[in-house]
Amino acid sequence: MHNAAYDRLKARFARIAALGEAAAMLHWDASTMMPPGGGESRGEQLAALAGLAHELLIAPVVEEDLEIARAEGEWEEANLALMEHAHARGTALPTDLVEATARANSACEKLWREAKARADFALVRPALTEVVRLQRETAQALAAALSMGPYDALMDGYQRGITAADVEPVFAAYEAFLAEALPRAEAIQAAKPAPVPLPGPFPTELQRALCRRLSERVGLDYEHARLDESLHPFCGGTPADVRLTTFYDEKDASKALLGVLHETGHALYERGLPEAFARQPVGDAAGMAVHESQSLIVEMQACRSDAFLGFLGRELRSVFGGPAAPYAAENLAGLWRHVERGFIRVDADEITYPAHVILRFRLERAMIAGDLEVADLPGAWNEALHRMLGITPPDDARGCLQDIHWHDGAFGYFPSYTLGAMAAAQLMKAARAAEPGLDAALAEGDMAPLLAWLRRNVHGKGSLLGFQDLLRAATGKPLDPQDFIDHLRARYLA
Amino acid sequence: MHNAAYDRLKARFARIAALGEAAAMLHWDASTMMPPGGGESRGEQLAALAGLAHELLIAPVVEEDLEIARAEGEWEEANLALMEHAHARGTALPTDLVEATARANSACEKLWREAKARADFALVRPALTEVVRLQRETAQALAAALSMGPYDALMDGYQRGITAADVEPVFAAYEAFLAEALPRAEAIQAAKPAPVPLPGPFPTELQRALCRRLSERVGLDYEHARLDESLHPFCGGTPADVRLTTFYDEKDASKALLGVLHETGHALYERGLPEAFARQPVGDAAGMAVHESQSLIVEMQACRSDAFLGFLGRELRSVFGGPAAPYAAENLAGLWRHVERGFIRVDADEITYPAHVILRFRLERAMIAGDLEVADLPGAWNEALHRMLGITPPDDARGCLQDIHWHDGAFGYFPSYTLGAMAAAQLMKAARAAEPGLDAALAEGDMAPLLAWLRRNVHGKGSLLGFQDLLRAATGKPLDPQDFIDHLRARYLA
């Protein structure tokens, strides 16, 4: 069956993964618990863990073992292929490039904070130019090692199994839909009465208990999870010990509630990964786009559905009290499915969000290809936003300076958001077809039928399949924007 | 000055220390934050960190570098010597002995929990016999590698720079004092009016705020510390990020308060270690006995002094209210300096505590030497306790089964408790001589003069000196039981 070389590799990758788990816990601690004075030594700890994990990955003995390793069976073969892929990525980049990149990213990110605060792109332009130069070099080196296009090689670092050539027509189709649908959605919305805000107050203690109760209701087991607070909410930790965070605003209970439901989607994915391959590459989550599909299928597809909003309204009223009207499903839909053209990606609604991502995908792809220079970025940004949403940012802080990603060296990540949203719609359609009682259950606040389907078709698959293959296996086709478009039509244009 | 080999060793030991810091944070998390289901993967993470740290320590290149490394200056030379010492300890034990020990300790510890609950020594006897056999073997191997006696080599793992030959006469002198002093202390106590308990209630929230405020008052900076709750209080974390824990009992505010002051002493030591040698062997705390001296100098010497009790009484009354009498310094002294012969070490008072330790020191030393068999342990225990305290445990649960230490393979650790108590008295006497305003400051709740002296003479010395040399440099003499005896005479026999 397997040979000794494969067993050695499994032991080595289990160790690498354990170091990654330790680092995940230390990151969580740094965001939630650590006193301010602990930052510097935390940096030393994380650097030691990352350095050792990298050395374990790129050691010459790994290459020797990969050459002679034999594994049998679908899962073990995939595991071995993923080890080879990780080793190829790890060894593709010369040390001086890795170090130059780390320095350039760190320097640029610092300048970006100031540039954004002052809305002054010129301040960060030279540093960002250097970041892009190094990202091009990185992309070239990875492309050569992995036999794929340079931009694809960057995307591959965040989500395996999909290329820019797959993404471009999908995004083009969405752009065409948006041009027609957005004005209609706005007109329909304008014709409806304005929603009334939920009556407060929303004491933090009550919000915390509600968030915990609803995330449990949705399927999270707190024997293996915690919910804490941090400035920027996230889902961290490890599959056996998931750490969710949120931020409570006593003026608005919606943010924490919807945020926790979103993070619960991420958490349920981690919890559902195949235990038999814990701490092996094939047992990991399949990538950032698949991860985002799991947060969005819970938050956007399930929890903001008409069926679930009825349940959620009753739950909210039982905690915060007051008249029934604001808690009605239609009113919550008015509050939580409000469409508005805006400059800021993270504030965008379900319809306009992809426009922000499509814009970034095309610009970063052009920058990596050498077809767009950093000096031309603000103009290209504003032009693209105006073409898609008909609005122009009043300054670069609300334009090309708004996101940290590029200024921290993250190129190839942005598509994940919209790939995730689209995959969520496609998976939801397939789940509804397979589980006819799914919506009736949602109306009772019962996520079990959806969750069971996701565990079989997504969570339990780990990294066995890349993005497109996972969708093919689960829904019978690769990524198809039509399911997302149909979902938006039903929700916003009916 | 230094050569490249020494610089390589410094980088390697910094990495080993960073892994140790990461492990310390994960241990803290496991005791305070981790959901129950996280235990298994936490074990994997800690095993990976420990395994990698051990491999870094024993790598053949370390021996090569140690042979050619040159360091100049007192601190760097000591650092190099400590690296050599750590490497010698790390390589002294064959892998099969280490693994057999881990298995035997783990098996024995599990049986011990049941044996203690049932007060049935026979249940754990075979497992403990195996633990002792392996400890003897370990001690022999370490002794050969370190050129010291077998029991001394075990003690050295907890506290460097003191031998059983140093300890024995000190403990003998204490035993002689105890025989004379204990009946007198009891008679003096019996002649006084019984202390009145503090009026409750003691809500957890109020206790928590008080503990935090007083630990700050004593000198802890919460920019670099946290105070949380755990079943077994401890001081963990790292020098830049100390994590204290306690346990609040709403029926008794004394436990958490005195416990936090004790842990604050440990924390102040960690905080005061020399930053210039952070994550180097010479920058570490000097050992478990020195650590205990720092918790006890704060808790026992300073905070339970007549001067500080007056301040503490006012603080407690301001929080919990009620009549003045229970909060008077003399009443708090009656409550918190109560002398009583008992079976249980962890419940013992300042005078009888050393008896429990002396007993264990002699028995474990005899077991390691092969002069006492495990089968004879209960009898030897009961005889020794009766000789020193005149009492006999009604069962082994209150005798030789009470502590986890031996059943978990910890031999050579017990002396640290009393060496720490004695060193605390010796250091306090020297501090008082050097800082004439020390007690006047304590009466105002001001620990600054004591803390400044400790930072110069203990904390800031890191691991530059072993136990006896540290005491010589700070107090002009090696460990001298007379200072502790004088302290007890003044406090209990005046």
Least Cα distance to A229 among A206, A245, A241, A244 occurs for A245
Query: Which residues does chain A have within 8 Å of residue B221's beta carbon, measured at their own beta carbons?
Result: 37
- Catalytic-role residue among B21, B76, B130, B263: B263
Does B262 belong to an annotated binding site? yes
Report the pLDDT value the prediction gives residue B1, as an integer from 0 to 100: 66
Query: Which residues does chain B have within 8 Å of residue A51's beta carbon, measured at their own beta carbons?
Result: 15
203-222 of B, contacting A, C-beta below 8 A: 221-222
For A245, B56, B114, the CA distances from A22, given in Å and listed in that order, are 18, 18, 32
Report the pLDDT value the prediction gives residue A255, as an integer from 0 to 100: 95
3-class secondary structure for chain A? CCCHHHHHHHHHHHHHHHHHHHHHHHHHHHHHCCCHHHHHHHHHHHHHHHHHHHHHHHCHHHHHHHHHCCCCCHHHHHHHHHHHHHHHHHHHCCHHHHHHHHHHHHHHHHHHHHHHHHCCHHHHHHHHHHHHHHHHHHHHHHHHHHCCCHHHHHHHCCECCCCHHHHHHHHHHHHHHHHHHHHHHHHHHHHCCCCCCCCCCCCHHHHHHHHHHHHHHHCCCHHHEEEEECCCCCEEEECCEEEEEECCECCEHHHHHHHHHHHHHHHHHHHHCCHHHCCCHHHCCCEHHHHHHHHHHHHHHHHCCHHHHHHHHHHHHHHHCCCCHHHCHHHHHHHHCCCCCCCCHHHCCCCCHHHHHHHHHHHHHHHHHCCCCHHHHHHHHHHHHHHHHCCCCCCHHHCCCCCCCHHHCCCCCCHHHHHHHHHHHHHHHHHHHHCCCHHHHHHCCCCHHHHHHHHHHCHHHCCCCCHHHHHHHHHCCCCCHHHHHHHHHHHHCC
CATH class of B159-494: mainly alpha
Say if A29 is an interface residue toward chain B (CB within 8 Å): yes
279-298 of A, contacting B, C-beta below 8 A: 279
**B35–A238: do the CB atoms touch at under 8 Å?**
no
CATH class of A156-494: mainly alpha
Residue B395's SS3 state is coil
pTM: 0.95
**Predicted confidence band of residue B475 (pLDDT cuts 50, 70, 90):** very high
Say if A42 is an interface residue toward chain B (CB within 8 Å): yes
Q: How far is A268 from chain B (nearest CA, A)?
A: 15
Query: Which residues does chain A have within 8 Å of residue B38's beta carbon, measured at their own beta carbons?
Result: 224, 237-238, 240-241
Say if A224 is an interface residue toward chain B (CB within 8 Å): yes
Say if B100 is an interface residue toward chain A (CB within 8 Å): no
Report the pLDDT value the prediction gives residue A1, as an integer from 0 to 100: 66
The mean pLDDT value for B187-208 works out to: 96
Q: Can you list the residues of chain A whose pLDDT is less than 70?
A: 1
Q: How far is A85 from chain B (nearest CA, A)?
A: 23
Give the one of A45, A47, A241 whose C-beta lies nearest to B41's C-beta. A241
> Which helix H or strand E contains B211, and what residues bound it?
helix B204-218
> B236-257, pLDDT tens digit by residue?
999 999 999 999 999 999 999 9
> A20-57, pLDDT tens digit by residue?
999 999 999 999 999 999 999 999 999 999 999 999 99
Report the pLDDT value the prediction gives residue B400, as an integer from 0 to 100: 98
Say if A41 is an interface residue toward chain B (CB within 8 Å): yes
Query: Which residues does chain B have within 8 Å of residue A49's beta carbon, measured at their own beta carbons?
Result: 18-19, 22
Instruction: Give the start-to-end residue ranges of the domains of chain A.
Output: 1-92, 156-494
Give the one of B37, B48, B238 whose C-beta lies nearest to A15's C-beta. B48
Query: Which residues does chain B have within 8 Å of residue A239's beta carbon, measured at their own beta carbons?
Result: 41
> B210-228, pLDDT tens digit by residue?
999 999 999 999 999 999 9
Q: How far is A45 from chain B (nearest CA, A)?
A: 5
Question: What is the percentage of chain B residues whose pLDDT exceeds 90?
Answer: 99
Active-site residues of A: which are they? Answer: 263
Tell me, what's the ipTM? 0.94
Say if B241 is an interface residue toward chain A (CB within 8 Å): yes
> A479-493, pLDDT tens digit by residue?
999 999 999 999 999
Asked if residues A224 and B35 have their Cβ atoms less than 8 Å apart, the reply is yes
Q: How far is A56 from chain B (nearest CA, A)?
A: 10
**A18–B45: do the CB atoms touch at under 8 Å?**
yes
Give the one of A25, A42, A48 whose C-beta lies nearest to B26's C-beta. A25
- Cβ-in-10-Å burial (0-12, 13-18, 19+) of B293 comes to buried
The mean pLDDT value for B389-407 works out to: 98
Residue A391's CB: how many other CB atoms inside 10 A? 14
Q: Could you tell me which chain B residue has the CA closest to the CA of A36?
A: B223
Say if B26 is an interface residue toward chain A (CB within 8 Å): yes
Say if B239 is an interface residue toward chain A (CB within 8 Å): yes
> B434-470, pLDDT tens digit by residue?
999 999 999 999 999 999 999 999 999 999 999 999 9
**B18–A221: do the CB atoms touch at under 8 Å?**
no
* pLDDT surpasses 80 at B331: yes
Nearest 5°: phi and psi at B332? -60, -40
**B37–A226: do the CB atoms touch at under 8 Å?**
no
Structure tokens at B463: 């691991």
Say if B59 is an interface residue toward chain A (CB within 8 Å): no
